[in-house]
């Protein structure tokens, strides 16, 4: 199977790619780093790309049997207005460009991460899948991301 992963240079992406490669799959991964040095495998292709913009990286995703979207600017940083826009764009725009890249003539498995911030800070309140989302910044980003994926 050909699997394409955004955010392959992150903790989860790196481990997922290695697991898929060990299982005999081919993996194409994107990351924002100019190069990567943690995966050395003949069935691994790395594409340095800004996934918030359309580009040649989308071609690898158009060929995939499965797509895993792990892209997202780190939440660990000073949340200036500019940084918050980068957090938003890295999730929402990347998802939009991934969906645009998927072929219309065949089925592709699409798995996209979601943020725990969807529900907002609710203290000790017990939350379920049917609980409404919060209204803070991360909640809004999560809602917009979810709308893009659907």
CA nearest neighbour of 49 among 83, 16, 6, 86: 6
CA–CA gap between residue 99 and residue 135 (Å, rounded): 26
What's the pTM? 0.79
21-31 pLDDT tens trace: 999 999 999 99
User: What percent of the chain has pLDDT above 90?
Assistant: 46
Q: Distances in Å between the alpha carbon of 77 and those of 13, 31, 114, 125? A: 20, 19, 19, 27
76-96 pLDDT tens trace: 888 898 988 888 888 889 999
């Amino acid at each position: 199977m050909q699997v394409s992963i955004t955010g392959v240079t992150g903790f989860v992406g790196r481990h997922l790619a290695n697991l898929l490669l060990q299982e005999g799959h081919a993996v194409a991964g994107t990351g924002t780093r100019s190069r990567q040095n943690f995966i050395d495998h003949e069935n691994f292709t790395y594409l340095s790309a800004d996934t918030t913009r359309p580009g040649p990286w989308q071609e690898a995703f158009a060929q995939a049997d499965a797509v895993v979207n792990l892209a997202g600017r780190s939440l660990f940083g000073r949340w200036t207005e500019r940084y918050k826009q980068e957090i938003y764009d890295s999730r929402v725009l990347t998802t939009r460009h991934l969906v645009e890249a998927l072929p219309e003539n065949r089925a592709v498995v699409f798995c996209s991460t979601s943020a725990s911030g969807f529900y907002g800070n609710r203290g000790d309140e017990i939350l379920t899948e049917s609980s409404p989302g919060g209204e803070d910044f991360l909640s809004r980003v999560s809602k917009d991301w979810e709308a893009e994926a659907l």
